[in-house]
Amino acid sequence: MSSRFNTVRMKYIYICGASAVLSIVLLFVMYQIMRLAYRLMFHEAVWFTNLVHWSINHIGKKPIGLLMGGGLFLLFFWVRSQKISEDMQALVRGTNELANGRNPAPIQVLSGGELRQLSDQINAIAALTANKDCSEMKVKSEEPSC
């Protein structure tokens, strides 16, 4: 994939679109199942019929659908964006350790593109500082001690 399309911004656009499509499809399937169940099974359950009638008459079918669709969208977006969030947290931990003068363990990210490039560069910086520290320790050990 081209590096132009393998960016964090494009990943979030993809996650947003996929979450919207998933929530719309799941909402449609839930609506069809509830419609079928209401017609076939729930006539004996008076409390459920009264709850559905009250909800439709007092709140409305569209606001309930929008609320459920929005909730599903937020849930899917939160779940699908967790991978990028974990990668960002790993990068933050690594840069924090570098800033405090410690060499971090190699940073592994699951994402590609910008986040992978950033982790590779941080790992290269950590390797350079580790090599520099190692060469300084060798020079100090070769000096005669008193």
- Name the strand (E) or helix (H) holding 44: none
Residues 6+ positions from 42 with CB-CB distance below 8 Å: 48, 49, 52
Please give the pLDDT value at position 2. 55
Average pLDDT estimate for 80-85? 92
CA distance 106 to 119: 8
pLDDT at 69 over 90: yes
pLDDT at 137 over 80: no
pLDDT at 60 over 60: yes
Q: Using the CB atoms, write b or e for 69-106: b if 16+ within 10 Å.
A: beebbeebbeebeeebeebeebbeebbebeeeeeebee
